[in-house]
Structure formats: C-alpha cells, structure tokens
C-alpha cells in the first residue's frame, strides 16, 4: 500500500473516522492495530520488526515514566537503542552502501 494509492486513502479515511468515533483509549488501540496492519500490508515479515520495536520501547518507556531519580532515565533510553540499532544493518531494509 503506497501513500499515493487509492487503497491507502480508503485505509486512512477508515482509520481517521474510527479514531475520532471511539473513546480516547480505544482510539489509541485502533491506531496501534492500524499501524501493524499497514506494515504487514507490504510485507508480512515486517510484523516481527514492529512488534520487537513495540516491546523494546514500551517497557523501557514505562521505566522512564515511573523513575523518580533523574539519573536512571538515560539508562532506560540506552537499553532501547542498544536493542534496536545493532539489528538494523542486518535487516533486509538497511543494506550497506558499497
């Protein structure tokens, strides 16, 4: 699904109408499900990448939000980036330029 395709605009309209017609919390769940669907539309293998990204960002985000000590906050951020960035060059999307 490309951004300039007819399917995208139908998808976008359904998601926007659904988001504004649902309560706030349910709208956020709809946006999450819609983003998963959007990434899976092009290649279903990318669901693994976006799920790993969600898990890798969600739990350190909870720790960052609940941390009372300001010195602990950067360590939560570094754990997220350490998990995600070493895997990028090996993915099929990011290939080294030769």
10-residue averages of pLDDT along the chain (98 residues): 84 94 93 90 83 80 71 55 56 53
Q: What is the DSSP string of 37-49?
A: HHHHHH-TTHHHH
**Is the domain of 21 the same as that of 47?**
no
**Is the domain of 32 the same as that of 55?**
no
**Is the domain of 29 the same as that of 64?**
no
The boundaries of the domain holding residue 33 are 1-42
Q: How many domains does the chain have?
A: 2
pLDDT given for residue 33 in this prediction: 93
Taking phi over 0 as left and psi of -120 to 50 as alpha, with beta for the rest, 82 belongs to: alpha
**Is the domain of 53 the same as that of 92?**
yes
**Is the domain of 55 the same as that of 34?**
no
pLDDT given for residue 20 in this prediction: 94
pLDDT given for residue 2 in this prediction: 75
pLDDT given for residue 44 in this prediction: 85
For the record, the structure tokens of 9 come out as 């605009």
pLDDT given for residue 78 in this prediction: 54
**Is the domain of 68 the same as that of 89?**
yes
């Amino acid at each position: 699904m490309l951004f300039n395709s007819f399917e995208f605009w139908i998808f976008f309209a359904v998601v926007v109408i659904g988001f504004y017609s649902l309560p706030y919390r349910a709208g956020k769940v709809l946006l999450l499900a819609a983003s998963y669907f959007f990434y899976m539309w092009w290649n279903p293998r990318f669901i693994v990448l976006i799920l790993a990204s969600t898990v890798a960002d969600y739990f350190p985000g909870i720790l960052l939000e609940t941390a009372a000590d300001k010195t602990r906050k950067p360590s939560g951020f570094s754990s997220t980036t350490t998990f995600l960035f070493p895997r990028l060059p090996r993915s099929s999307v990011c290939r080294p330029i030769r």
